[in-house]
Amino acid sequence: MNDPDTSADTDRNHIWHPYSAMQSDAPVFTVASAHGVRLKLSDGRELIDGMSSWWSVIHGYNHPLMNAALEEQIHKVSHLMFGGLTHSPAIELARQLLAITPSNLSSIFYSDSGSVAVEVALKMALQYWHARGHPQRRKFISLRCGYHGDTFGAMSVSDPETGIHSLFGDALAQNFFVAQPRCRFGEACSDDDIAPLAQALEKHAGQTAAVIMEPVVQGAGGVWFYSAGYLQQARALCDRHDVLLILDEIATGFGRTGKLFACEHATIAPDIMCIGKALTGGYLTLAATLTSQAVSDAIDQGEPGVFMHGPTFMANPLACTAALTSIRLLLESPWQKNIQRIEQGLNNGLAPCRDSGQVQEVRVLGAIGVVEMKQAVDMNSITRAFVEAGVWVRPFGKLVYLMPAFIISDDDLAELTRAVVTVIKGLAQKPL
């Protein structure tokens, strides 16, 4: 029998990481523990986490109240099939979500991840139109540079050319795409800005089940901030053409942009909303799709009279407990002041990057800071450079971005942004 692999060998030889190759030379760092905004590596080094584990760990790691709530729940029931059974954490979480989301949303479907929440939203829209006697409405209109997840339905409404899913284009449902809004956040939305969406709806409304978009912030498709006015006009156009509006709040929900949900910047409500990521404070995987009474009633009254979806781990009691505790922690905290504080710290801390000839733009909204480079960075070398600087930052493409936990201190935020400035300035001495 061969000698057992070291942990690093096992990881490298047998485990796929997101968007990676087996036995890749991409650096992978083993985390031994995490507390607050710090990751402690197995070699003893500590890193300030600038990513909050893909934007989800908003209260930091190892939070005592989160830990206590989960420990209490695990002694009651850790998992329960949701078919024909229910439980208090799912019920209490539903009450809490209905209290904080747009008032027209009244029905909730729990799922496992953001991608599945989008799949559920698309299926809801299709079943809605089938129930209303319009089965030909099977297409979706989406924004270019948008990203909605990695499953097949979600890929079909994500950017088909510049996105990460172009390899699968021929295998996906063919939907309609309109130009990315170029009107920036804080600016007005002109007739020219909204024209592509208006024209698409004028031409394709009879075939379209829904328009789907990430409100105000396009996330993994480019971390682009666009005008709330665009969102307002999109809502009006959907109403005019009797088309559903799906808002993907998976990345933007729970305070990240300075509002509890990004659609609040535009004071509009969707027909269907997807939430995830920060829903559980990053503790466990859980997502939800919320919809209006009109949509849920139509599905119930149509054929086959039920909504056709049901994940095994739907409404997992531990995950629902984590979500309920996380939301209460958020609402009981001065989260708006924290987001304003982080926004100011990101603006001040990242400003020196504008002096680099390799930087295209620096932009900040809420607790999101973006340094857009003129060329794509080398992921392997820049990740190592950030670790050497004592921070965890994972860029992609041309984007070096930060989405820290809401509890990050001013000192840690300053150290985090200094590391970004230092590493980016260091790129001037070597090719990207």
Tell me if 7-62+334-427 shares its fold with 76-332.
no
- Digit-coded pLDDT (tens) for 45-68: 999 999 999 999 999 999 999 999
Catalytic residue, chosen from 139, 259, 277, 398, is 277
- CATH number of this structure's domain 76-332, picked from the four choices 3.20.20.70, 3.30.70.100, 3.40.640.10, 3.40.50.280: 3.40.640.10
User: How far is residue 208's CA from residue 246's CA, in Å, rounded to a whole number?
Assistant: 12
User: How far is residue 375's CA from residue 39's CA, in Å, rounded to a whole number?
Assistant: 29
- Digit-coded pLDDT (tens) for 87-113: 999 999 999 999 999 999 999 999 999
| 89 and 73 Cβ atoms separated by less than 8 Å | yes
Residue 397's Cβ-count burial label (10 Å; 0-12, 13-18, 19+) is: middle
Query: Cα 125 vs. chain centroid, distance in angstroms?
Result: 21
7 — pLDDT class (breaks 50, 70, 90): confident
Catalytic residue, chosen from 49, 150, 193, 248, is 248
- Whole-structure pTM value: 0.96
4 — pLDDT class (breaks 50, 70, 90): low
248 part of the active site: yes
Catalytic residue, chosen from 61, 110, 147, 230, is 147
Whether 1 has a pLDDT exceeding 50, the answer reads no
147 part of the active site: yes
For the chain, the domains span 7-62+334-427, 76-332
In the chain, what is the straight-line distance between the N-terminal and C-terminal CA atoms, in Å?
A: 44
- CATH number of this structure's domain 7-62+334-427, picked from the four choices 3.30.70.360, 3.40.50.1370, 3.90.1150.10, 3.40.30.10: 3.90.1150.10
